[in-house]
Structure 1
Amino acid sequence: MISPVLPLCCALCCSLIQFLEPACEEKPSRRVEPAESSDTLALSKVRNIPSSPRQEFPADWSIKTRVLFMSSQPFTWAEHLKAQEEAQGFAQHCRATETTLPQSVQEPQLCTELRCAFQQSLVYWLHPSLPWLPLFPRIGADRKIAGKACPWAQDEALQQVLRSDWSVSFTSLYNLLRARLCPYFYVCSPQFSVLFRAAGLAGSSVPTAAIAPTTRGLREAMRSEGIEFSLPLLEESRTRKQKNSEETPSDDDDDGSFSWLEEMGVQDEVKKPDTISIQLRKEKHEVQVDHRPESLVLVRGSNTFTLLNFLISCRSLVAVAGPQAGLPPTLLSPVAFRGGTMQTLKARSISGRARVQGGFEDVFSLEVLGPILPHALHALTLLLGPAQRGAFRALLSPHEPSAAFNTRAAPPQEAVHQDLSACGLHPKTLEQLSQCPTLGKSSIRLLEMKDYAYTWKA
């Protein structure tokens, strides 16, 4: 539910005003507080904005923990939803109802369709559901969970029940995905996360699964189970290095050729590396990327089913010690599944006044707290365009380990012909998520709409 509008302190207002200013415009001077806000610090990390606005922004497969929308127009239409509007929003989500709004909504606060669609866009599905525990993010969450009631921590029988129930939900999601009734879902464990995508998404004609971050031990375990996979970011880095130093021998040379020793006539006097040494040299770079974005593993096609069975029986998927001990991984999905619990993102509108030369001016923002899945971000932008008269800015806070999911998931020019019309996504959102990822291991941190066209920073 939306909380009441509260005035902000001047420091926050000044911070928001900085986001509202286009980079190319000069504004009157403002009073700046000595302490920088976390939003300002986050904004300083982003890269350059594309030179030309576009009608659509790239698909971003990272999970957002927070999005702050800002506009010169108020967000009062997102406040105090009526019981009927909230119920209608839930019903529209369950029935995958498509809402079509005009390009500009003249009276957003009076537009029932807009308010219902807003509630619809906040819905996601979660398993397990433990209201007293924060179940996302799971990587690095020990502090948040420490001290919470975990009755299963010392009860092996209860742990087995939780794990069995989780396996049923996980299998249900995968079956929905294979039937193209679920577009994608996430498996979030304390060590790594997995993104399963249906055939037809991310430019791939077959189902895919991306895992990040990974370790050599996990990859070796997958190989031993016969799971074929690639390390696209690592392979891309190797290809780039080879192109930059084609004539220079490097540590990556692993053909075992020592013909140059024979040419010098000293082949018998120099001890050649044994097979184990050559193998270690080949794996050196792979080991160095453990726990980093470059360790992302990509699984395609029928191997995703083998991965499903591997993860169900994988002991490292559940922590054996610490605050998360015995707690199954978190499942996040845009659609309902067996054992899933309906959840809603937290949203609140904020308004305030910031001091400018000669007076004050209004500042309006809408804060949404995650886990904000890719479809939810796009669905919200479809509403904010008409509601905010085609102009807003959004500061996005990604869950950093999930940024690597923006790596390309399919070979170039792979043909994609899959019917995903029944997967529960808005057609425009589906169209966006069907495109090949272009962000690499980065994610969008600032998104701006101006005159109904997008620019962004990553």
Structure 2
Amino acid sequence: IWKEEFSEAVSDPYLAISNTDVSSSPSYEFPADWSIKTRLLFTSSQSFAWADHLKAQEESLGYVQHCRGALINLPQSIQEPKLSTELRCAFQQSLVYWLHPFLPWLKLFPRIGADRKMTGKNNPWSYDEGLQQVLMSEWCLSFTSLYNLLRAKLCPYFYVCTYQFTVLFRAAGLAGSDVITALISPTTRGLREAMRNEGIEFLLPFQEVRKRKSNVGVSLLRGRGMSDVDDDEGFSWLEEMGLQDKIKKPDTISIKLCKERNEVQMDHKPESVVLVKGTNTFTLLNFLINCKSLVAAAGPQAGIPPTLLSPVAFRGATMQTLKARSINVRTQVQSHYKDLFSLEIVGPVMPHSMHSLSMLLRSAQNGSYSAVCYTHDPTAVFNTSISNEQSIKEDPYSKDLKKCGLHPNTLEQLTLCPTLGKSSIRLLEMNNYAYTWKA
């Protein structure tokens, strides 16, 4: 009974984690979504023809603007989007991302659950250990380069996508933390034990929720006069009530087995997400570089290093662009037909891209459009709150973080504490320049 009472009485950022559908009231900003989207489908009553057939010069300028971190501020409304070179260049700029390794005949994102799509592809390195070592050596250089950029706040965040789990590294100043953070999901007991053995300190955010609830429950019982409630499984207060003979106190071995069973049960689930903070992220970097199970030993992904995804250039990276295409359709509304226009963006769409695209469309579509968002499910849990603080203590707009290549508005969004829990934005709508969203 007391569990139900205290769960409603507690206000804590960690307790915002939820699987239930969430919808919002109109707002001029939407929360940061740290999941990776595989596809965005924008729809509007106004044409997206401006996004089609970019001229060679517009495409080139878009690439240059991205590489130089150019800040483009569009007017609130653009009357003739198709004639706006500035809009079209900014659109190209927002589609750019960086990838390593790059194997043109293989799709290297997503990696989790991709075996079936990779079956039958030509993998010349599968049985060539020398080639595998070269690939891994180059990957280690690229991974280290990314981490150094992150530490210098010249890269805001990046993803490491393995065939079993994904890691999100974030620079200090983002997601409500004043230190570098890394989230790993999903994890297994074996991986967590290996990390402990390497001296990596980490938290299990969902277990923190349990501890907080338990602590509040004990506090409520104490508040009702049960002063003997303690942390030793709560059995001392049963003795006070004369009920110790009615309930058998578990022995140490039983308690240990129960904890181990609970730990194994969360394997491969969102609840297994691990949080690493501060200098421990550097230890994590070395752990991942030396982790033999990081690369599949057999199957279609055998010998392929994890995919590195970043908003900015890094050593060994290949520039890639999200695929975009517009479609015009006629849909029946009651007794008549209405033109409906759509713009499809195929991922990996990272958080900064989703935000920059939303700002572009606000201007191009006169503040009215909707977007259906398709999430790579294993990354939705990256929206878990990682801090007890409502905001970071230091100024998130440090000069160093401003040099990371993101638009100031996008940077402002990404500095805020995550609020979506293990959910992600599924539907984003803008009406009269105000957002509403559902998760």
TM-score (norm 2): 0.88
Percent of matched pairs sharing the same residue: 68
- What is the CA-CA distance between 1:257 and the residue it aligns to? 6.9
1:416 maps to 394
Aligned residue among 424, 436, 448 for 2:429: 448
Note the aligned Cα RMSD (angstroms).
2.4
Q: Is the 8 A contact 1:254 1:278 kept in 2?
A: no
2:77: which partner in 1? Answer: 104
Instruction: Name the CA shift for 1:265/1:174 in 2 (closer, same or farther; >3 Å).
Output: same
2-structure distance, mates of 1:427, 1:88: 20
Aligned counterpart in structure 2 of residue 295 of structure 1, from 272, 275, 281: 272
Q: Distance in 2 between matches of 1:86 and 1:333?
A: 20
* Contact 1:254–1:281 (Cα < 8 Å) also in 2: no
**Contact 1:346/1:368, CA 8 A, preserved across alignment:** yes
Shift of 1:80: 0.4
Q: Deviations over 1:250-299 (max 9, x none)?
A: xxx9726765787799999x996543332223344332211111111000
Match of 1:31? none
Task: Give 1:48-127 correspondences, 5 Å limit.
Answer: 48-50=22-24, 52-127=25-100
User: What amino acid sits opposite 2:23 in the alignment?
Assistant: I
Structure 1 segments of 4+ aligned residues over 4 angstroms from their partners? 241-248, 256-268, 270-274
3-state SS, counterpart of residue 114 of structure 1: helix
Task: Show structure 2 runs of 5+ residues with no match.
Answer: 1-18, 223-229
Q: Deviations over 1:197-234 (max 9, x none)?
A: 00000011000000001111111111111111101122
SS at match of 1:351: strand
- Aligned residue in 2 for 1:181: 154
**2:252 is aligned with 1:279:** no
Per the alignment, residue 401 of structure 1 pairs with 378
Q: Does 1:338 align with 2:312?
A: no
Pick from 93, 103, 114: which aligns with 1:141? 114
Q: Distance in 2 between matches of 1:185 and 1:117?
A: 22
State the one-letter code of the partner of 1:407: T
Aligned length: 410
Q: Report if aligned partners of 1:444, 1:456 keep a CA contact under 8 Å in 2.
A: yes
Distance 1:70 1:79 in 2: 15
- Call closer, same or farther: CA 1:103–1:221 in 2, change over 3 Å: same
> Residue 149 of structure 2: SS of its match in structure 1?
helix
Q: Contact (CA 8 Å) 1:46, 1:457: kept in 2 or not? A: no
1:48 CA displacement: 4.8
Provide the rounded CA distance (Å) in 1 between the counterparts of 2:20 and 2:339: 26
Partner of 2:283 in structure 1? 306
TM-score w.r.t. the length of structure 1 is: 0.85
- List runs of 5+ in structure 1 lacking aligned partners: 1-44
Candidates 282, 296, 300, aligned match of 1:319: 296
Deviation per residue, 1:387-439 (Å, 9 max, x gap): 00000000000000000000112231441334311001011100100111000
User: Is the 1:254–1:282 Cα contact (8 Å) retained in structure 2?
Assistant: no
Structure 1 residues 220 and 352: alpha-carbon distance in aligned structure 2, compared to 1, 3 A threshold: same
